[in-house]
Amino acid sequence: MLAWIPFLQPAPGVSSYWWALVFPLSIGVSMAWRAVRQKDLHGYWPSVARMSAQIVVGMLSLFVGLAIIIRVIMPLMPVD
| Residue-wise pLDDT tens digits, 34-66 | 999 999 889 999 999 999 999 999 999 999 999
Q: Is residue 14 part of a domain?
A: no
Res. 33: pLDDT tops 90: yes
Distances (CA, A) of 16 to 11, 21, 34: 10, 11, 31
Average pLDDT over residues 8-12: 80
Q: Can you give the residue range of the structural domain that contains 39?
A: 20-76
- Domains in the chain, number: 1
Q: Is residue 26 part of a domain?
A: yes
Half-sphere exposure of 40 (CA within 13 A, CB side): 2
Q: Is residue 24 part of a domain?
A: yes
Q: Is residue 7 part of a domain?
A: no
| Length of the chain (residues) | 80
Please give the pLDDT value at position 3: 80
Q: Is residue 59 part of a domain?
A: yes
Q: Residue 21 — pLDDT band, cuts 50, 70, 90? A: confident
Rounded to two decimals, the pTM is: 0.77
Q: Is residue 9 part of a domain?
A: no
Distance from C-alpha of 14 to C-alpha of 18, rounded to nearest angstrom: 6
Res. 15: pLDDT tops 90: no
Q: Is residue 12 part of a domain?
A: no
